[in-house]
Amino acid sequence: MTSQANSPTSHSHLEYMRQALDLAQKSPPKPTNYRVGALLVDAKTNSILASGYTLECEGNTHAEQCCFIKLAEAHGIPEESLADILPEQTVLYTTVEPCFKRLSGNLPCVERILRLGKAINTVYVGVKEPEKFVGENTGRKQLEDAGIKVVLVGGMEKEILEVATAGHKTGDI
């Protein structure tokens, strides 16, 4: 994982991460998941294509999954066809790195990203996934092996973890 987003647009990376964190706060606190916010962004035009947060859509949905569901519904296509309509420079911002394993049996977010091919070329994350539920997240390696950059946007880790773990027992990170 690239350690920091240090490009001239680092300020906009923090702005997008703040927006994603605002979304995460809409997610209901539960002891069994992280409250995460995500944005799909056209990096060429700096426009938000979709947003989502944990449990926003029906079922046990993750933030990234909600972005994909909402965008697919808006275009009247199945989620796995999103690669056909996503702009060339689409990036994903997510407060916590995408999951590689789902205990619920749902398709992991890493697999959702990978099945879109190179439609998403960079994933910006606020924090690495804590190892509480599924152990070490190997999804970042899977994304990088597929040619998708994973970049840590530093500076908000404490805030993100406070929001992500709301509803967990004290000391459970």
Q: Show which residues are catalytic.
A: 64
- Buried b or exposed e, range 46-85, using 16+ CB within 10 angstroms: eeebbbbbbbbbeebbbbbbbbbbbbbeeeeeebeebeee
The runs of H, that is alpha helices, within 25-149 are 63-75, 109-114, 139-145
Helix (H), strand (E) at residue 7: none
Pick the closest to residue 23 from 47, 46, 49, 55 (CA basis): 55
CA-wise closest residue to 166 among 90, 98, 97, 96: 96
In contact, 55 and 115? CB cutoff 8 Å: no
Q: Report the length, in residues, of the chain.
A: 173
Report residue 31 CA to chain centroid gap: 19
CB 148 within 8 A of CB 139: no
